[in-house]
Structure 1
Amino acid sequence: MLTRLAYRINATLDRYLPEQRLFLKSDASTRFIRLRPTTQALALAGGAALLTWTFIATSILLMDSIAAGSDGDQALRQQALFEERLTALSNDRDLRAEEALRAQERFNLALAEVSQMQGRLLASEDRRKELETGIDVIQNTLRRTIKERDEARGEAERVAVALSEQTGAPRTEAGRARDALATLDIMAGALGSTARERDEMVEMANRAREETAEIAQAKEALELRNDAIFARLEEAVTVSMEPLDNMFRAAGLSPDDLLNQVRKGYSGQGGPLTPFVSTKGGALAPDETRANAILGGLDRMNLYRLAAVKSPFANPIPSGRYRFTSGFGTRNDPKGAGRRMHEGLDFAGSYGTPITATADGTVIEAGWGNGYGRMVKIRHDFGVTTLYAHMSEIHVSAGQRVSRGDRIGDMGNSGRSTGTHLHYEVHIGGRPVNPMTFIKAASDVF
């Protein structure tokens, strides 16, 4: 049965792959090699399998190369966006601070004008009271004059009666009429003067009321304009502050503790921004309170900028020519030692790729580490340390101060490693955390 099946298979293959003979001729004899259909089929199948494997392997290498290039470009774009966002936040903070100072200056100027207008209003009110007092004095004087005139007229009549009794020539009606006209002239003059002064006081009171109404309108318009300015500043500070709070919380850092430490390190006299102080020594006005809150927010943004520079939010391989080969967490040991905790990220790249510090700090270790090979450890502010391992060369020494972006070494394959890569760790308070948390937190904001 097997012989018949083999015969049929051979006959079928013979239709498409007829038997071939390869002749080998020498001076003494001629030999040939017979290539049966089955042998030809196996050779073709092997060649096809080899070609397929070559194609698949080439595709995988090409896809890895493209992925590494796109990751590098993305890292460079994120780094550029990070720096541009920091610059924009700094410029926006300075602009908002300048607007707040200009608004406060306009507010102080308006308060001075209102104070002057109130002074003139009080002066006009005092003048009105003085005029009312003068009118009362004039009226009292007029009453006293009329009374004295009546008394003088009575006395004159008594004198006239006594004179007529003595001389026998009574006082004529013409004389009494002249006396009455003189008295009326005196009263008319006094009443006219009083009426003129009264009209002047009424006009001054009307002008004072108009000035008071204009001052009230100007004050109301100024308050509305200041309220709109403060509202825009408060909104800008709130919108700019929230993503920064979220970034530091996402990285596992307490924003309040972080800012307190930055503030202690920058506690020189004068400070970034100085709150307004009441010139009267009493409680602050509502606008002054709002201005202080805005300046406090701007000061917080400035402290965030300083904290961002001192925290490892940068990429240790700024060139972007790498790919991630192992993440943070448990994994199978690459050398077959079972499942182990991997306390960092692995960046695979070319031998000698530059490695830079991800934040300002002090180098506390630089040399050979057990399992890490050539490694560098940097202490940063806020209890944060970073570790860079498996280097080919180290360009810093222990005790040296480094800044973000300084080249500290080159990528290599030293220590317990299966290939050229960078092993990067971040520790907070001595506890390892996922470095991707910092990289992703910065990318979400910048």
Structure 2
Amino acid sequence: MGTPQLKLGTDGKHNVRSRLTQKIHGFLERHFPERRLFLRSDTETRFIRLKPETQLVAWAGCTIVVAWTIVATAILLMDSIGAGNFRAQAQRDQLTYEQRLNALSAERDQRAAEALAAHERFNSALRQISLMQTELLNTEEKRRELETGLEVVQSTLRDTMRAREDARKELAALAAETDQTTVTALSQDAVGTVDLLANALAETAAERDMIAADAEFAIDHASEMELELRLLQERNDQIFRQLEEAMLVSVEPLDRMFRAAGMDPDNLIAQVRRGYSGTGGPLTPLQFSTRGGTIDPDADRANDILGAMDRINLYRIAAEKAPFDIPVKSNFRFTSGFGQRWGRLHAGTDFAGPVGTPIYSTADGVVTHAGWSSGYGRLIKIRHEFGIETRYAHLNAMNVKVGQRVSRGERIGAMGNSGRSTGPHLHYEVRVGGEPVNPMIYIKAGQDVF
């Protein structure tokens, strides 16, 4: 009795499954009715029966493929739109950067022209001051000569007056001692002597008046010269102020640039001056004759201005030897900066762009390596002054060789995808004393100047 019950239970389960299968088949028949695909040839006709289940699998597969296609297309479109926006933003930033560079260049040229014009005005003012000082000294000497001559004339006039008084006294004494005839004769002689003395006195008085007039004219002219000299001094002060302001405007950005890059400007200038230790030329300190007096303050101000011009010149030389420039000048985008990445130090900055994009040296230097280097791929190393080295990795081509001297802005290679690289880009490094530093420190410091 037990066995039939088990068989009945098994049959019941089978019937349930059969009914469920029939329902599913009926549902599929309603939506995916059975179809036949006829294949006819010259001799016979065959057909392929497409069951509802087969149609369901085909429909599901097509749906999955279409959905995957839509999702992939959407992802590609979103990535393309994002990349387009990033490139547009990079182009706008580059245009703004170029406009700022052009404005700074124009302002620098204008400041240089103003400094040159001010220097010319300063030289012209120095020449005028020299001429005015010479003329003033000549006038002073002439005035002293006139005063000396006037004193001599006055002394001669006093001696003549005393001689005339003595002659009158002698004449009066002789008149008392001699007779009338002798007195008459002596009177005639005395009259002649007095007339001669009177003529001499008249000539002396005329000469004295002329000398006094010349002395008064010299004094008046000296006053005018002093006024002109004072006006010239005020004009010189204005020129000096303009020159000092121009030097301050020119020196401060360069000083800030080197300090922003972590470089001591005084130490830097000392190193450059040791390398360029020649003397002479237009920046030689000015020397003015003091004629035994105090030091001319204008000479000190002029020498300070010349010192600032010399500092600017040394800064310019140092800026060419430090990597303040950017290695890629065409369109690019930053893909990775300096710092830790995936648990390791990324010792440089990556600039992404098309293969063949020109790469430029960021400072004057000497090529110490130009070849393949493990993960760097094609690598160029350039040794600069102040213990600085730059590296340009993953290159597609190299235009320099070891030992070659390169200048700032000179093309040294082309961007590529060599070595351990996931795409075409430039890996740019700056090392100081062998230790890697962030290249953007130098690039950002130079943006306000170059």
Coarse TM-score class (shorter-chain normalised): 0.7 to 0.9
CA contact (8 A) 2:348 2:427 kept: yes
The reply on whether 1:259 has 2:278 as its aligned counterpart is no
* TM-score computed with the length of structure 1 as normaliser: 0.79
The reply on whether 1:228 has 2:238 as its aligned counterpart is yes
Higher RCO (C-alpha under 8 Å, 6+ residues apart): 1
CA contact (8 A) 2:368 2:381 kept: yes
**Identity percentage of aligned residues:** 41
Question: Structure 1 residues 131 and 30, CA, compared in 2 at 3 Å: closer, same or farther?
Answer: closer
CA contact (8 A) 1:353 1:411 kept: yes
Match of 2:308 among 285, 288, 297: 297
Structure 2 SS opposite 1:137: helix
Q: Deviations over 1:342-388 (max 9, x none)?
A: 11011222233332222221111222223322211110112110011
| Residue in 1 that maps onto 2:446 | 442
Match of 1:316 among 300, 320, 327: 327
How far residue 389 of structure 1 moved from its aligned partner, in angstroms, is 1.5
Look up the equivalent residue of 2:211 and give its one-letter code.
M
How far residue 263 of structure 1 moved from its aligned partner, in angstroms, is 2.2
| Residue in 1 that maps onto 2:81 | 62
Structure 1 SS opposite 2:225: helix
Q: Distance in 2 between matches of 1:179 and 1:400?
A: 109
Match of 2:37 among 11, 25, 41: 25
The reply on whether 1:392 has 2:392 as its aligned counterpart is no
How far residue 227 of structure 1 moved from its aligned partner, in angstroms, is 0.7
| Residue in 2 that maps onto 1:412 | 416
Structure 1 SS opposite 2:448: helix
| Residue in 1 that maps onto 2:127 | 108
Q: Distance in 2 between matches of 1:117 and 1:352?
A: 72
CA contact (8 A) 1:272 1:299 kept: no
| Residue in 2 that maps onto 1:244 | 254
How far residue 299 of structure 1 moved from its aligned partner, in angstroms, is 1.8
How far residue 77 of structure 1 moved from its aligned partner, in angstroms, is 6.8
Q: Deviations over 1:201-255 (max 9, x none)?
A: 3322321221111010110011011111111011011011111111111112222
CA contact (8 A) 1:262 1:307 kept: yes
Structure 1 SS opposite 2:436: strand
CA contact (8 A) 1:25 1:31 kept: yes
Question: Structure 1 residues 33 and 254, CA, compared in 2 at 3 Å: closer, same or farther?
Answer: farther
Question: Structure 1 residues 91 and 300, CA, compared in 2 at 3 Å: closer, same or farther?
Answer: farther
| Residue in 2 that maps onto 1:213 | 223
Look up the equivalent residue of 1:294 and give its one-letter code.
I
CA contact (8 A) 2:153 2:204 kept: no
Correspondence list, 1:89-108, <5 A: 89=108, 92-93=111-112, 96-97=115-116, 99-108=118-127
Q: Please say which of residues 49-58 and 210-219 is displaced more in the overlay.
A: 49-58
How far residue 146 of structure 1 moved from its aligned partner, in angstroms, is 1.6
Q: Distance in 2 between matches of 1:208 and 1:408?
A: 73
Structure 2 SS opposite 1:218: helix
| Residue in 1 that maps onto 2:162 | 143
| Residue in 1 that maps onto 2:365 | 361
Structure 1 vs Structure 2 CA RMSD: 3.8
Question: Structure 1 residues 69 and 401, CA, compared in 2 at 3 Å: closer, same or farther?
Answer: farther
Correspondence list, 1:169-208, <5 A: 189=199, 192-208=202-218
Match of 2:430 among 417, 426, 431: 426
Q: Distance in 2 between matches of 1:86 and 1:259?
A: 23
Q: Distance in 2 between matches of 1:90 and 1:262?
A: 24
Q: Deviations over 1:141-162 (max 9, x none)?
A: 222222222222221221128x
Q: Distance in 1 between matches of 2:34 and 2:221?
A: 122
Gaps of 5+ in 1: 1-13, 165-170, 333-338
CA contact (8 A) 2:139 2:222 kept: no
Match of 1:285 among 281, 296, 299: 296
How far residue 431 of structure 1 moved from its aligned partner, in angstroms, is 1.9
* TM-score computed with the length of structure 2 as normaliser: 0.78
Question: Structure 1 residues 77 and 405, CA, compared in 2 at 3 Å: closer, same or farther?
Answer: farther
Question: Structure 1 residues 101 and 432, CA, compared in 2 at 3 Å: closer, same or farther?
Answer: same
Q: Deviations over 1:285-320 (max 9, x none)?
A: 211211111122112222222222222122222222
The reply on whether 1:345 has 2:364 as its aligned counterpart is no
CA contact (8 A) 1:392 1:412 kept: yes
CA contact (8 A) 2:153 2:208 kept: no
| Alignment: residue pair count | 414
Q: Deviations over 1:396-417 (max 9, x none)?
A: 2222222233333332333333
Q: Deviations over 1:84-105 (max 9, x none)?
A: 8568646744652463254234
The reply on whether 1:131 has 2:150 as its aligned counterpart is yes
Look up the equivalent residue of 1:355 and give its one-letter code.
I
Structure 2 SS opposite 1:371: helix
CA contact (8 A) 1:374 1:389 kept: yes
Question: Structure 1 residues 57 and 386, CA, compared in 2 at 3 Å: closer, same or farther?
Answer: same
Look up the equivalent residue of 1:366 and give its one-letter code.
A
Look up the equivalent residue of 2:344 and give its one-letter code.
R
Question: Structure 1 residues 88 and 401, CA, compared in 2 at 3 Å: closer, same or farther?
Answer: farther
Question: Structure 1 residues 401 and 311, CA, compared in 2 at 3 Å: closer, same or farther?
Answer: same
How far residue 184 of structure 1 moved from its aligned partner, in angstroms, is 7.8
CA contact (8 A) 1:19 1:37 kept: no
Structure 1 SS opposite 2:179: helix
Q: Distance in 2 between matches of 1:47 and 1:185?
A: 143
Look up the equivalent residue of 1:212 and give its one-letter code.
A
CA contact (8 A) 2:415 2:425 kept: yes
Q: Distance in 1 between matches of 2:291 and 2:373?
A: 62
How far residue 123 of structure 1 moved from its aligned partner, in angstroms, is 1.9
Question: Structure 1 residues 274 and 206, CA, compared in 2 at 3 Å: closer, same or farther?
Answer: same
The reply on whether 1:157 has 2:176 as its aligned counterpart is yes
CA contact (8 A) 1:356 1:409 kept: yes
Q: Distance in 1 between matches of 2:189 and 2:280?
A: 85
Q: Distance in 1 between matches of 2:300 and 2:114?
A: 20
Structure 2 SS opposite 1:317: coil
| Residue in 2 that maps onto 1:371 | 375
Question: Structure 1 residues 179 and 399, CA, compared in 2 at 3 Å: closer, same or farther?
Answer: closer
Q: Distance in 1 between matches of 2:335 and 2:129?
A: 65
| Residue in 1 that maps onto 2:8 | none
Q: Distance in 1 between matches of 2:282 and 2:113?
A: 10
Q: Distance in 1 between matches of 2:279 and 2:199?
A: 73
